[in-house]
Amino acid sequence: MLNISHNQLNKKVDLSQFKSGKNIMNKSYYKYFNRFLLAAAVILLIVLFLPWTQNITGQGIVTTLKPNQRPQTIQSQIPGRIEEWFVQEGDFVKAGDTILRISEIKSDYFDDKLVERTNEQIQAKSSSVVAYSGKVEALKRQITALENERRLKLKQTENKLLQARLKVQSDSIDLEAAKTNLKIAETQFNREKTLQDEGLKAVKDVELKRIKLRETQAKFISQENKYLASQNEVINAEIELSRTKASYADKISKAQSDMYTAQSSQLDTKAQVTKLENTYANYKKRNSLLYVTAPQSGFINKALTGGIGVTFKEGQELVGVMPASYDLAVETFVRPIDLPLLHIGEKVRVQFDGWPAIVFSGWPNVSYGTYGAKVVAIERFISDNGKYRILLAPDETDHEWPEAIRVGSGAKTIALLEDVPIWFELWRQINSFPPNYYEPQTNKTASKSKK
């Protein structure tokens, strides 16, 4: 019966009277499904109250714990041309082993005897320094001799001046004596003349006194000339003393000027010697840079600049090296909103790429294939990707990390936080709330002890 008509038969006829009607009308449909739904609802309700560990997930890569253990490239400090390779990719090298030999490409360093010739220039300039030093010593001795000679000459001239002054004093005394004699002679002549006028003296006596007066006048004039000559000798001695001082001052000044010039040339030559020694050390060091050596023991990863005869600039990467011994670590990135929840020493679970794992992020105890780690460094400034970089080291209390892990492989990280009910975590995720903020117990204890 297709039941196409709008006349419903079950409203007019009691179908339950029939056997087939009883099987259809009184049958309970979806009984097992309803039981399943009820059981699922009860289980779901119980699950909602199970503990759930809040976590922060992130993507990272395997790296090394210390910067000097990470893969590095070897550069040349000088530009050059590759002449010979001593290693190949995959080789193990020790610290100081030669990797390749290069040659100069700058014309200033083409001379093979550049270091030896620079050393000869240093020796020549050093000889000049010695010569200037001898000249300075000779001029010092000359200045000392001139100063001694000036001292003696000045003493001699001062003695002459003293003698001239003493002679002036002696002549002045003789002049006074001549004056006195002249006065006496004049007095005697006048007396004789008065007596002769009175007739008491003869004319002969007057003439004798006149002659004596003329002789005394002549002696007075002569003594006056001697006195003036003595004064001239004093002036001449003073002029000679001044001339001697000026002459020797000029000679000593000239010698001192020559000495200072020699000292200046000596210092200038010393500066040139120092500059040449610096150049010599630079040339010597540059020659040692013609052999590129390994900074530490490791494996040659890849020749970044290959071939023979290839030129390169200073600082250009030539070959990559992976250190032989290193401590594995994982660097991961977290959002700024999750950064306050991470602390130094925080426990983190790590899943490495290529290692099978069954992960329940909220139930770490039932996860399989993850390894323990702890936070050892937190970046203080945000990275270019808009997240903060976290460095993880292996947890010594957990299983050891696999030995086959290589630096650079991928990893997933799960930072474990507080335990909350599952319903609370669902409510938080629906509302896009951050995980519960907390501080480690050690930090709280430390803060209390400080207080």
DSSP bridge pairs for 81: 103, 311
Long-range contacts of 45-48 (CB under 8 A, 24+ apart): 47/422, 48/421, 48/422, 48/423, 48/426
Q: How many CA atoms lie within 13 A of 18 on its CB side?
A: 8
The per-residue pLDDT for 330 is 93
* CATH topology assigned to domain 51-69+326-422: Elongation Factor Tu (Ef-tu); domain 3 (2.40.30)
* Joined tokens for residue 284: 């010597």
CA 329 to CA 436: how far, in whole Å?
27
Q: Which CATH superfamily is domain 114-288 in?
A: Helix Hairpins (1.10.287.620)
The per-residue pLDDT for 234 is 86
Residues 300, 320: contact at Cβ < 8 Å?
yes
DSSP bridge pairs for 50: none
The per-residue pLDDT for 74 is 92
The per-residue pLDDT for 1 is 47
The per-residue pLDDT for 91 is 92
Residue 428's alpha-carbon distances to 277, 415, 432, in angstroms, are 73, 17, 6
The per-residue pLDDT for 93 is 93
* CATH topology assigned to domain 72-104+290-322: OB fold (Dihydrolipoamide Acetyltransferase, E2P) (2.40.50)
Cβ neighbours for 278, distance < 8 A, ≥ 6 positions apart: none
Residues 336, 359: contact at Cβ < 8 Å?
no
Q: What are phi and psi of 434, to 5 degrees?
A: -75, 165
pLDDT (tens, 9 = 90+) of the chain, 451 residues, equals 455 666 666 666 666 666 666 666 666 666 777 888 889 988 888 888 777 666 778 888 999 988 888 889 999 989 999 999 999 998 999 998 999 999 999 888 888 888 899 999 999 999 998 999 999 999 999 999 999 998 898 888 888 888 888 888 888 888 888 888 888 888 887 887 787 777 767 777 777 777 887 888 888 888 888 888 888 888 888 888 888 888 889 989 999 999 999 999 999 999 999 999 999 999 999 898 899 999 999 999 888 888 898 999 998 999 999 998 888 999 999 888 778 778 888 888 888 887 776 555 555 554 566 888 999 999 888 888 888 999 999 988 888 888 888 888 888 888 777 667 777 777 777 776 666 655 665 544 433 344 3
CA 137 to CA 152: how far, in whole Å?
23
Domain ranges of the chain: 1-49, 51-69+326-422, 72-104+290-322, 114-288
> What sign for the dihedral angle of Cα 106, 107, 112, 117?
negative
Question: Residue by residue, what is the 3-state secondary structure of the chain?
Answer: CCCCCCCCHHHCCCHHHCHHHHHHHCCCCCHHHHHHHHHHHHHHHHHHCCEEEEEEEEEEEEEECCHHHCCEEEECCCCEEEEEECCCCCCEECCCCEEEEEECCCHHHCCCCHHHHHHHHHHHHHHHHHHHHHHHHHHHHHHHHHHHHHHHHHHHHHHHHHHHHHHHHHHHHHHHHHHHHHHHHHHHHHHHHHHHHCCCCCHHHHHHHHHHHHHHHHHHHHHHHHHHHHHHHHHHHHHHHHHHHHHHHHHHHHHHHHHHHHHHHHHHHHHHHHHHHHHHHHHHHHHHCCEEECCCCEEEEEECCCCCCCEECCCCEEEEEEECCCCEEEEEEECCCCHHHCCCCCEEEEEECCCCCECCCCCHHHCECCEEEEEEEECCCCCCCCCEEEEEEECCCCCCCCCCCCCCCEEEEEEEEEEEEHHHHHHHHHHCCCCCCCCCHHHHHHHHHHC
